[in-house]
Amino acid sequence: MQLTVTFESSITDEQVTWVKESLAEAGVPAEDKSRTETSVTFIDPSTVTCQIAGDLCRKWVDECKRALVEQGSGKSRYG
């Protein structure tokens, strides 16, 4: 399976690590395959169910919402 995560702005090393760790927590042993300024593609040697992908998407959306709230209050997870 291949998964590409695209950000609206430049992606940082910390964000790539966070996505990879999130995949690992969900049981997906993904490895970086390629990366551009705004996206990173992971390849997974195993089969991932739609449920896991859906759970990860919800987690990422929740994390992004939290980051926006923190950013609005003067805090930032990513510096």
The 10s digit of each residue's pLDDT in 22-78 is 888 877 777 778 888 888 887 765 555 555 666 777 787 788 778 777 777 655 555
Fold (CATH) for 2-72: TATA-Binding Protein (3.30.310)
Beta bridge partners of 34: 41
**Environment class of residue 40 by beta-carbon count within 10 Å: exposed (0-12), middle (13-18) or buried (19+)?**
buried
How do residues 2-13 score in pLDDT, each as one tens digit?
778 888 888 888
* Contact call for residues 60 and 22 (beta carbons, < 8 A): yes
* Contact call for residues 13 and 21 (beta carbons, < 8 A): no
Whether pLDDT at 79 is above 70:
no
pLDDT at 14: 87
Per the confidence metrics, is the pTM higher than 0.75?
A: no
pLDDT at 73: 62
